[in-house]
Amino acid sequence: MAKKIVAIGGGTIGEKSPYGIQPYETEIMDREIIELTDSINPNILFIGLADPKYSKEYFMLINAVYNGRYSCKCKNLDLSLLDNKEMVDYYFEWADAIYVGGGNTYTLMKILRTYGIDKKLKESYNNGKVMSGISAGGICWFSYGNSVIPTDSSKKLIKLDCLNFKNMVFAPHCDEINGHFENVENLLFSEDMVGLSLSNACALEIVDEKYRLIASDTSRYKIKPFALKSFWYENKYYIENVELYSDFLDYNELISKVPTGNEPSEDVKSLLKRRNIYFNR
């Protein structure tokens, strides 16, 4: 069975907000998730446990996309169902793709492990179901990510152990001022791995040992979606651009810690310089 992940760095899904209808930035990712199931109208299991208080409202938004736009059948793995093993087993057997919503990654991982959902996700991954998600739902598939403990008033970012389906640090929303991209350097300091930081409207797609980066045709902050790879090599921290290709490439190249000299674009450097991040080295 091919093993499939679509980890989305962020983006709006055409939802309503106080500012009106938001752009539909994740269309290319949503279509790819459906395509990877090899079904015209696949079954989508939504997991909104990174924000359990609002998971029903979040599910309504996802259902409006996957059911309303693409005629997929959708179910919500709500917190209230997790004690019902038969129901949980049925939902996972029923699903062709699993979509994990955004929110707090610490909360998400705690709930997944408390109820054994982490093991169900691993089983589904090994059985060829599409693992996907946005923000916290993208972070969770990898080795580590940034998060905050909800009860910690300092809101200090911590290094969080995740599902480790792929040996990498994943950081979403790197075009926003949130500290996550900045803290990747610390997460990687003692680790023999790379970090991948994605802007909103950009996603990493992995099929077995091949990968590609896909992005919406949109501009935030007057900059197109982008991806940055970072790692420590011979006591120096590197940040490199990762190209967005339509073709799949060797995943081992993505996780290689050999510097290539592929610097971020001047637009990206300018954005990050305004936040006093790196590029003054």
- pLDDT number for residue 277: 53
- pLDDT number for residue 269: 86
Q: Which two tokens stand for residue 113?
A: 């492990």
Strand partners, 63: none
- pLDDT number for residue 275: 61
Judged against a pLDDT cut of 90, whether residue 92 lies above it is answered with yes
Judged against a pLDDT cut of 70, whether residue 279 lies above it is answered with no
pLDDT digits (tens, 9 = 90+) for 4-34: 999 999 999 888 777 788 899 999 999 999 9
Judged against a pLDDT cut of 80, whether residue 112 lies above it is answered with yes
pLDDT band for 1, please (50, 70, 90 cuts).
confident
Q: Supply the pTM of this predicted model.
A: 0.95
Distance between CA atoms of residues 59 and 17, nearest Å: 16
- pLDDT number for residue 280: 41
Judged against a pLDDT cut of 50, whether residue 281 lies above it is answered with no
Per-position b or e across 48-62, b if 16+ CB within 10 A of its CB: bbbbbeebeebbebb
pLDDT digits (tens, 9 = 90+) for 185-216: 999 998 999 999 999 999 999 999 999 999 99
Judged against a pLDDT cut of 60, whether residue 278 lies above it is answered with no
Distance between CA atoms of residues 180 and 196, nearest Å: 11
Judged against a pLDDT cut of 60, whether residue 254 lies above it is answered with yes
Judged against a pLDDT cut of 70, whether residue 72 lies above it is answered with yes
Non-local (6+) Cβ contacts of 36 within 8 A are: 4, 6, 97, 130, 207
Position with higher pLDDT, 175 vs 47: 47
pLDDT digits (tens, 9 = 90+) for 116-175: 999 999 999 999 999 999 999 999 999 999 998 998 888 888 899 999 999 999 999 998
Identify the CA nearest to 195 among candidates 146, 261, 264.
146
Judged against a pLDDT cut of 50, whether residue 44 lies above it is answered with yes
- pLDDT number for residue 276: 55
